[in-house]
Amino acid sequence: MLNRFMQSRLRGLVILALILIILPAFLGNPFHYELAIQMAIIAATVVGLNLLVGFAGQISLGHAGFFGLGAYFTGIATGTYGWSSLPALVVGAIVVGTIAWLVGRPILRLKGHYLSMATLAVGFIIAIILNNERAITGGPDGMPVPALDLFGWELSTFGRYSLFGIEISGVQAWYILASVVLLVAVWFALNLIESPIGRALRSVHGSEVAASVVGVDTAKYKSLVFVISAIYASVMGGLYAHFQGFITPAVASFEFSILFITMVVLGGMGSTFGVILGAVVLKLLPQVLADFQELETVMFGLILMLTMIFMPKGLLPTLTAAVSKRMRKKAGGEA
């Protein structure tokens, strides 16, 4: 039975769910929860980005732009105009998706470095607009965002809630929400990859010519995955804004875009669970390295460099390959 489970399609998702359930036992204080929630939201964003980068083989160096747009759309709609959170997230996703489609149509004709430059520029433009439109966004000083409310039920990090009679704090409630969102994001991504649409996306990466001669409209699929990954970023940006309660244009910054891409590459391009690991590692590393004080950035860079040199396929694919090799060896030794 264990064997059958290990081969089942949703094995990874079940393991991830178990980790998310067990994890609170190790989260000692609200700061730990805060870190875990941020990790989950960012992990879900890079799961979406990985569809574009890891599976369809297209690069985006401006993805924080879409994350920032989603964050600000939610912030402005709920804060300035008093919308409820759910419509703000949904309309935000539609708006950002449309922008991504309009931008993606022309720039996805580019390949390699040219596409990198174009997406980089998209990210910069969004960051500049958020910085300069003071009247709407508050400019570089940022803007406050109200607590998340779902159908009149407010989820604040300072609140207290009861779940099946157990009293939990606001961050714990947020942790549950973020976990569920991450699981749904992963489930959608897995379903997408293992489908005719997913094969078409991967074929664009594998051989665009082969894809086109069997009838795949490569331009259409590139746009589609660009829009999907932008929607992932937008929704997660919106949740991030609600969770933080305050946003600045830094959420759309170049540094943030690079962080997303690094998470994908470090964790393992084309590995949904790999990029989650990438997000966790890159979010934890600065905390662990804080003891090195002024050497922190140097250590950070060194670790990234060594990982890419010795594990070019990324953390998770390299680790799973090593484990299965060991297991094969063991099986061979017994025979």
**Shortest CB 201 distance to another protein, Å:** 10
**Shortest CB 32 distance to another protein, Å:** 32
Cβ atoms of 97 and 227 within 8 Å: the answer is yes
Q: Residue 145: what residue type?
A: V
State the residue for tokens 């969102």: 181
Q: Is 80 or 207 the residue whose CB approaches another protein more closely?
A: 207
**Shortest CB 224 distance to another protein, Å:** 8
Q: Is 76 or 181 the residue whose CB approaches another protein more closely?
A: 181
Task: Give which of 170, 191, 182, 305 is closest to 242, Cα–Cα.
Answer: 170
**End-to-end alpha carbon distance in the chain:** 23
C-beta neighbour count of 95 within 10 angstroms: 15
Task: Give which of 248, 238, 252, 65 is closest to 139, Cα–Cα.
Answer: 248
- The tally of CA atoms less than 13 A away on the side-chain side of residue 188 is 17
Q: Is 209 or 331 the residue whose CB approaches another protein more closely?
A: 209
Record the tokens describing residue 116, joined without a space: 């990198």
Rounded to whole angstroms, the Cα distance separating 143 from 131 reads: 11
Q: Is 252 or 269 the residue whose CB approaches another protein more closely?
A: 269
**Shortest CB 194 distance to another protein, Å:** 8
**Shortest CB 190 distance to another protein, Å:** 9
Q: Under the rule (CB under 8 A), what is the footprint of another protein?
A: 188, 191-192, 194-200, 202-203, 205-207, 209-218, 224, 270
Q: Is 25 or 209 the residue whose CB approaches another protein more closely?
A: 209
Q: Is 228 or 263 the residue whose CB approaches another protein more closely?
A: 228
**Shortest CB 13 distance to another protein, Å:** 12
Quick one: the chain helix, strand, coil %, rounded to 5? Answer: 80, 5, 15
State the residue for tokens 């939201």: 41
